[in-house]
Amino acid sequence: MNGTRRLHDAGQSIWLDNITRGLLRSGGLRRYIEEFSVTGLTSNPTIFDHAIRSGAEYDPAIREKLRTGRAGEALFFDLALEDLTQAADLFRPIHELTNRVDGWVSLELSPTLAYDTPGSVTAAKELHARAERPNLFIKIPGTREGVPAIEEAIFAGVPVNVTLLFSREQYLAAAEAYVRGIERRVAAGLNAHVPSVASLFVSRWDAAVGDRVPPALRGRLGIAVAKRTYRAYRDLLASDRWLRLLNRGARSQRLLWASTGTKDPKMSDLLYIVGLAAPHTINTMPEKTLLALADHGELGAPLARDGGDAEEVIGRFREASIDVDALAAKLQEEGAAAFVKSWEDLLACLAEKSETLRKAG
């Protein structure tokens, strides 16, 4: 039994943090589903940018859409929805077998909407309707302006993957928005079953502190923050407030570990996989990390429900002059800015590719 199967059997969903047209057409994604227990995937503008820029697999579709006048954001969402609906269909049997718990794909809103609440809600509704797939999440960032958009999207029945979360407090704000959205649906006599996941970014914590901390602390902050957040997650699931909603047919907003590829070559390539194994959670991992897990992954004890040594480790970072709260805010701000930059790069890539194809006839 390989490492991916062991992790799946331990109760954690394995999602792939990648999608390309080549991966779909070659049967690679199907193989990952069948052999590596992959039960979902996530996407973002950078992934599509690399896929479109690195080869010609999107050229025929772009050429065809240019003839109909598609360009810019409209062209991108056409291409993305083609890929993601095909992937959603591959995961559909898993989605049905797990009664909508698993088998999801995710499409990100334009990052330029990160601080636009009404614009995010409108776009989320439109994209979900266009996809016509029950197992497609719309990604909405958990920024201050994104939080009310999450609540409104959930109330409207749109499944949401909350992205850009970096701390327990940011997670709790997103979870509160989800719960409010469900409570409003119950009060309005609507079905309480609107799925959601909350994505906590992990490895960027350790990249941010780097060599500013003693060697004994390197590679430990991201997992400590995740452990602290996991405790808050488990406490919420056990709360009377949530249990009342379960009685009305609600499903818990699962916690998802994002940014789990190891960035420091001195650290284990499975640092954020082995360290974050926990039932009823998701780990969305890059292809390289997935293959490493299948090849040599060994699991230890699952995350402690109470967060284990999280507070002690975070306290040591504070002693090393790391302001964890300020860094969480900074990471979210930088993450939102990076998403916008990736989006601009993607649109520039599409414009360049479109011009090249026009000239080629």
**176 phi-psi bin (left φ>0, alpha ψ -120 to 50, beta other):** alpha
Among 65, 139, 227, 353, the one annotated catalytic: 139
- Catalytic, 65? Answer no
Q: For residues 251 and 238, give the distance between their C-alpha atoms in angstroms, rounded to a whole number.
A: 13
Backbone φ/ψ region at 307: left (φ over 0), alpha (ψ -120 to 50), beta: left
Asked if residue 294 lies in contact with residue 14, where contact means CB atoms within 8 angstroms, the answer is: no
Q: Give the bridge partners for 140, in sequence order.
A: 162
Q: Both ends of the chain: CA-CA distance in Å?
A: 51
Query: How many residues belong to the chain?
Result: 361
CA distance 283 to 199: 9
Q: Report how far residue 300's alpha carbon sits from residue 58's, in angstroms, rounded to the nearest whole number.
A: 42
Q: Which of 7, 18, 11, 13 is nearest to 41 (CA)?
A: 18
Give me the active site residues, please: 139
